[in-house]
Amino acid sequence: MNKTDKVLKQGWVKELLAEPLLARLGTANPATAQPHVTPVWFAWDGECIYISAFISTRKAREVSSNPHISVLIDVDNPTRAVLMEGKAEVITESGAVSRWSEIIYTRYVGEKDVMRDPYQSWVHDTENRIIKLRPEHVYAWKW
């Protein structure tokens, strides 16, 4: 088992990733290397993190041009954090985008509300994409 797997197998890390918390997605402009960090909703399947993003947004454009990203999920009282890094894949196939979008949005708004707008319009929007990261490096800390 490698270091990344060991970190992800910790009970408190699994619990943190199961909570519907805001994550922070870090991307970088491929031309200027200017970092960009934005709050996002996510889903975690035990191996990969999935983030919905519309192609018109800076984060989606930057991931398409420069797939190296970071994702941070953290809370305080007590402080706990998980930082994931690696090379993302952008999922464009409409069925997969709709499926993962609905999973992500359901985590935050519930099964009833996800069936309403604006969430259903987002799920089926042709500009919606899914950023998928199988983390190459994971760091976790708590105190």
Neighbours of 35 (CB within 10 A): 11
Q: What is the pLDDT of residue 13?
A: 97
For residues 78 and 36, give the distance between their C-alpha atoms in angstroms, rounded to a whole number: 27
In this predicted structure, the answer to whether residue 36 has a pLDDT above a threshold of 80 is yes
Cβ-Cβ contacts under 8 Å for 68 (sequence gap 6 or more): 28, 85, 86, 87, 88
Cβ-Cβ contacts under 8 Å for 48 (sequence gap 6 or more): 132, 133, 134, 135
Q: What is the pLDDT of residue 77?
A: 87
Give the pLDDT mean for 31-48.
97
Confidence of residue 39 (pLDDT cuts 50, 70, 90): very high
For residues 71 and 43, give the distance between their C-alpha atoms in angstroms, rounded to a whole number: 12
Q: What is the pLDDT of residue 44?
A: 98
Q: What is the pLDDT of residue 1?
A: 73
Residue type for position 140? A
Domain borders along the chain are 3-142
Spatial CA neighbour of 98 closest among 113, 110, 115: 115
For residues 100 and 107, give the distance between their C-alpha atoms in angstroms, rounded to a whole number: 11
CATH class of 3-142: mainly beta
Q: What is the mean pLDDT of the chain?
A: 96
